[in-house]
Each structure stands twice: as structure tokens, then as C-alpha cells.
């Protein structure tokens, strides 16, 4: 089932997500819905808070569905290592129509559980490292706009507020 994606400004996007204590059928249903929603959007990653569920789970597929091995699910993820720096433009399904250059690690290693409750450790470089950091930010109540500074951040936030007041957000 495709779920509605929560937009910037919604309370759930600005809260730290709660850990998942048991991988249940409900969590499996949530993950399947998240995958379907991510591909339909289309996007390369989606965190549970983006569909209004404040739990520590995200899905990512930087191949956007073109590779059968591209889809990854992380439950209760945490960083093992991060290093380097990449500066690239990124957007967000919860901030549609906006993009900005954001500094992210060039390499990131993430540890978490898969849907069967097995631990997995994955190293990401480039876009995958960026996607890991982006989705982990959502689990901490942050959106890429929160990583911006000065006039760049102010312009985006003001435009979102204006769209919100006019009912177009």
C-alpha cells in the first residue's frame, strides 16, 4: 500500500524515532508499504517518520529498483564508521520541489537488522553513503534543510511557510 509522505513542518519529522523492540508482522507490513511508497514517489530512500510512523527503520535502493540486490532494509540502524566528505545536491521526498548542496560523509558503514531480525553491516560510498546519512537524519528528527545555514536555509523555510499559508504545501 502506498502511504502518504509527510511534508516538512509536520511534527513527526522533527522528533527522534523510537527503537523497534521486536520485528513483527506489522513491521514487515510497514516496510513493504515503505518500499512501495519509495518506488512510487520515486525516491532512493525512505524512513518510517516520512510516512508518519516514528520508528527507527528505513529502506534504501540507490538503483531505484533497477537492481534486484539494490533494496536494503535497516531496523534500528546505527553508524559503525563515517569518513571523508562529499558535497552534492540532494532533495527529499518530504521537501518536494527543493534541493540544496549538503555535506555528507564520502563513506559510511551502517549496522542494523533486516526484516528477518538478522544483523547486517553494509558499507556505502558515494550516493549510498549519502543516502544512509540522509535516512539516519530522518530517524533523529532532522531533514536536509536543517543542515543548511544562513540565507540558503532561510529562503527554503520562508518559501515553505508561504506555500503552507496559501494551502499549497
For the chain, the structural domain boundaries read 11-165
User: Which pLDDT score, from 0 to 100, does residue 65 have?
Assistant: 82
User: Which pLDDT score, from 0 to 100, does residue 107 have?
Assistant: 98
Instruction: Return the closest-CA partner of residue 138 out of 32, 45, 26.
Output: 45
* Residues facing 101 on adjacent strands: 89
CATH superfamily for domain 11-165: Peptide deformylase (3.90.45.10)
Question: 126 and 108 in contact (C-beta within 8 Å)?
Answer: no
Q: Among the options 10, 26, 36, 135, which is catalytic? A: 135
Cell 506489522 belongs to residue: 26
pTM, entire model = 0.95
Question: 33 and 1 in contact (C-beta within 8 Å)?
Answer: yes
User: Which pLDDT score, from 0 to 100, does residue 61 have?
Assistant: 97
Q: Which cell numbers in the block locate residue 38?
A: 519509495
Q: Is-catalytic flag, 88?
A: no
Give per-10-residue mean pLDDT for the chain (169 aa). Answer: 97 97 96 98 97 98 90 98 97 97 97 96 97 98 96 96 96
Q: What is the pLDDT of residues 56-79, one digit of tens each?
A: 999 999 998 888 889 999 999 999
User: Which pLDDT score, from 0 to 100, does residue 29 have?
Assistant: 98
Amino acid at each position: 500500500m502506498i502511504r502518504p509522505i509527510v511534508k516538512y513542518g509536520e511534527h513527526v519529522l522533527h522528533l527522534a524515532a523510537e527503537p523497534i523492540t521486536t520485528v513483527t508482522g506489522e513491521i514487515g507490513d510497514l516496510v513493504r508499504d515503505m518500499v512501495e511508497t519509495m518506488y512510487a514517489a520515486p525516491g532512493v530512500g525512505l524512513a518510517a517518520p516520512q510516512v508518519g510512523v516514528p520508528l527507527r527503520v528505513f529502506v534504501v535502493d540507490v538503483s531505484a529498483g533497477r537492481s534486484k540486490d539494490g533494496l536494503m532494509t535497516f531496523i534500528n540502524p546505527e553508524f559503525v564508521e563515517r569518513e571523508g566528505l562529499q558535497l552534492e545536491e540532494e532533495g527529499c521526498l518530504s521537501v518536494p520541489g527543493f534541493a540544496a548542496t549538503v555535506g555528507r560523509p564520502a563513506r559510511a558503514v551502517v549496522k542494523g537488522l533486516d526484516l528477518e531480525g538478522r544483523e547486517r553491516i553494509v558499507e556505502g560510498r558515494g550516493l549510498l553513503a549519502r543516502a544512509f546519512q540522509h535516512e539516519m537524519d530522518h530517524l533523529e528528527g532532522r531533514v536536509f534543510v536543517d543542515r543548511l545555514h544562513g540565507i540558503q536555509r532561510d529562503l527554503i523555510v520562508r518559501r515553505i511557510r508561504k506555500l503552507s499559508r496559501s494551502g499549497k504545501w
